[in-house]
Amino acid sequence: MAPAKLDLKQHIRHVPDFPKPGILFYDISTLLAHAGAWHEALDRLAAALAPYQPDLLVGIESRGFLVAAPLADRLGTGFVMIRKRGKLPGEVIRHAYDLEYGEDVIEIQAEAVQPGQRVVVLDDLLATGGTMAAAVTLLEKVGAEVAAIGCLIELTFLKGRERLRVPVHALLAYDN
């Protein structure tokens, strides 16, 4: 008899009114701190994303690094970072995108991805999809083939998946 699957939602802490009043923050630090749950989460993501046969995993600053780096090791791929403006050394390629109130800029090192490489983009959480959509656009700008997106948590009520043109794999979904 196979062991019961671990309920990963039990390892996500809910923090009300963070970072500002009215926001419910889904904190992955409790998942990261529990060795068994973190191992299970990485196993499940690896199984979901391996069929895309990525050359590289791309993590979005900063919690996306925590997901993408160990997963890259498991899948035998390289790992590349997408960061906020001014955080990467050397020549970078930028992409500006609109926020609800203003604009943000993300960057990738110019030589990090070669044209035609298959990539999977990872972050801890998919909410409205704005940053993830910007990351996909930036990667396409440098010639990557974005095969899929992976995340630990998806806030389905914010409909971020609808902004994305590639398959999305989320381990956990919250409907409100």
Q: Express each pLDDT in 166-176 by its tens digit.
A: 999 999 999 98
Q: Is the pLDDT of residue 4 over 80?
A: no
DSSP state of 6: P
Looking at residue 92, its amino acid is: V
User: Do 57 and 79 contact (CB within 8 A), yes or no?
Assistant: yes
pLDDT of residue 100: 72
Query: Residue 133: in which H helix or E strand, if any?
Result: helix 130-141
Query: Residue 80: in which H helix or E strand, if any?
Result: strand 78-84
Q: Express each pLDDT in 15-55 by its tens digit.
A: 999 999 999 999 999 999 999 999 999 999 999 999 999 99
Q: Is the pLDDT of residue 1 over 80?
A: no
Q: Which among 28, 59, 15 has a CA at the least distance from the CA of 153? A: 28
Model confidence, pTM: 0.94
Q: Express each pLDDT in 74-132 by its tens digit.
A: 999 999 999 999 999 999 999 999 887 789 999 999 999 999 999 999 999 999 999 99
Domains and CATH numbers, the chain: 51-174 (3.40.50.2020)
What DSSP letter does each residue of 26-65 carry, written as one string?
EE-HHHHH-HHHHHHHHHHHHHHHGGG--SEEEEETTHHH
pLDDT of residue 147: 98
Q: Which among 77, 82, 78 has a CA at the least distance from the CA of 139? A: 82
Q: Which residues are catalytic?
A: 63, 100
